[in-house]
Amino acid sequence: MNTLSTEQDDVHGELMEISLGPHHPSTHGVFRMNITLDGEIVVKLKPVFGYLHRNHEKIAEGNTYLAAIPYTDRLDYLCSLTNNWAYVHAVETLAAIAVPERAECLRIILGELARIANHACLVGFLLNDLGTSFTPLLYSLRERERMLDLIEELTGSRMMCNFFRFGGLRSDIPEDWLQRLRTYLEGPFARFLDEQDALLSGNEILLARTQGVGILPPALAVQAGITGPMLRASGVPYDIRKVDQYSLYKRFEYKVPIGAHGDTYDRYMMRMLEMRESVKIIQQAMDALKNAQGSHIDPKARNQGLRPKAGEAYARMESPKGELGFHLVSDGSAKPYRFRIRPPSLINLTALEDICLGQTLADTVVILGSVDIVLGEVDR
């Protein structure tokens, strides 16, 4: 920290610079950090981005509005359903497309399912970063696998779903699929949550490694534009589902978990608690579906050859990682003039150096794991 001098002295010796990544299992992809260490303590940390950059925005600006949907799957590939949703939400704002009630209910079910799959995955990988070689991760992946099986059955693909369309969904969801999802969430998944809680939340080693590690103060979190579970772990009650009340979220009852300390343990707990809330939302959405009007897609909505009126729109959503927004500018043609993605994974890394300073190298790995990044979204 500030007290350390960069000059050589007898007590501290030389500072060491190491490059962690881009090929390192703990960086969750091809993320790289240039870390300066004083012994084991981090004194400087500079993230390096761009190893997975493919200029998604440029590709989308050369394609039609419809053809951009499958590319959004590849942003945050752990929860492509919410990416699809955020994008079609922005196009619907831009072109004033209405969405039927039934489609909104189905979207909420899928969006929350994606959130559960993402958080289940994160908890596993975070524990892997802690060095618990594989047991919690495999339990998490086992459950995610079953959710992916359900998603695959519906959308045709496990991760690249490409299921949302302007004005609704690509196809309707059969009743028996919904029933199976409900049985799964109330049966094996509920058991998994309880078991994972019993296995991890009170574990002394986990507590010792995560409590008080990587504290993110609320003022810094807001200033640095941190969103999602990471912001709420710092005690800021801000959930876009509650604030914007987009889709039908205001109809459902659910709590938004808030942390007290902003440390790694709180960020872990946010995910565990949010999964339980998401299950509640899915159950309520399934009940609401019985009386929902309309079909899975607005029959008047155009997907092919959509030409929104010239203008611009920014629309955002609470994705599992934070605020996922799309800023679209139309010049009246069939291709967006400007297509901008606001990536929560990238912006949540703004304060990474601040929360890692003074921590050990091993803790840096855990802190990065608790931020929850997916490089497909960071680098786009």
Partner 1 sequence: MSTTSPEEILTHLLEKFPEGSVSLVKDTGSAMQHSLLLQHEKAVAIANTLRDDPQFRFDYCSNVTGMDWPKEGFLEAVYHLYSIEKKTAKPLILRMRTKGRDSKIPADLAMPSFTSVWRSCELQEREVYDLYGILYSSHPDLRRLLMWDEFQGHPMRKDYAPPAENPPAA
Partner 2 sequence: MLGAGIIKGLRITARNLIGSYHDPNRLTTQQYPEEPARLPANYRNFPFLVLDAPSPDEEGTLRCIACKMCERECPPQCIRIEAARDENGKLQRRPKIFEIDISICMGCGICVEVCPEYSIEMDHHFEVVETERHQSLLLNLQRLSKPNAYFHQINPNKATASDKAIAEKKQKAAERFATTKAHTPKDSK
Residues that bind partner 1 (CB under 8 A): 49-50, 53, 55, 57-58, 93-96, 220, 222-227, 236, 238, 243-245, 308-314, 316, 323, 325, 327, 329-330, 338, 340, 342, 346-347, 349-351, 379-380
Nearest approach, Cβ of residue 139 and partner 2 (Å): 7
CB of 135 to partner 2, least distance (A): 6
Q: Are strands 168-169 and 164-165 parallel, antiparallel or unpaired?
A: antiparallel
DSSP string, 62-119: TS-TGGGHHHHTTTSTT-HHHHHHHHHHHHHHHHT----HHHHHHHHHHHHHHHHHHH
- Closest to partner 1 by CB, 277 vs 379, is 379
Q: For the window 125-154, what string marks contact with partner 2 as x by the rule CB under 8 A?
A: ----------x---x--x--xx--x--xxx
Closest CA to 110 of 11, 136, 26, 102: 102
Beta carbon of residue 148, minimum distance to partner 2 (angstroms, whole number)? 11
Which one, 74 or 342, has the nearer CB to partner 1? 342
In the complex, the smallest distance separating the C-beta of residue 127 from partner 1, rounded to whole angstroms, is 28
Q: Binding to partner 2 by residue 14, rule CB under 8 A? A: no
Nearest C-alpha neighbor of 181 from the set 155, 157, 146, 142: 146
Identified binder of partner 2 from the candidate list 64, 295, 350, 360, rule CB under 8 A: 64
- The Cα 280–Cα 186 span in angstroms is 10
Examine residue 190 and tell whether it contacts partner 2 (CB under 8 A).
no
Q: At what angle do helices 264-289 and 101-130 cross, to 10 degrees?
A: 160
Name the 3-class secondary structure at 48: strand
As measured in angstroms, the least distance from the Cβ of 123 to partner 2 is 14
Q: Which does 346 bind (CB under 5 to 8 A by kind): partner 1, partner 2, none?
A: partner 1
**Distance in angstroms (rounded) separating the CA atoms of residues 187 and 202:** 23
How many helices (H) and strands (E) the chain has is answered by 16, 8
Which helix or strand (DSSP H or E) is residue 194 part of?
helix 190-196
Does residue 19 sit in helix, strand or coil?
Answer: strand
Residue 53 interacts, among partner 1, partner 2, none and using kind-specific CB cut-offs from 5 to 8 Å, with: partner 1
- Shorter beta-carbon distance to partner 1: residue 212 or 225: 225
Instruction: Classify 126 in phi/psi space as left (phi over 0), alpha (psi -120 to 50) or beta.
Output: alpha
Minimum CB distance to partner 1, residue 28 (Å): 17
Q: Footprint of partner 2 on this chain (CB under 8 A)?
A: 63-64, 66-71, 73, 135, 139, 142, 145-146, 149, 152-157, 160, 162, 170, 187-188, 191, 195, 198-200, 202-207, 304
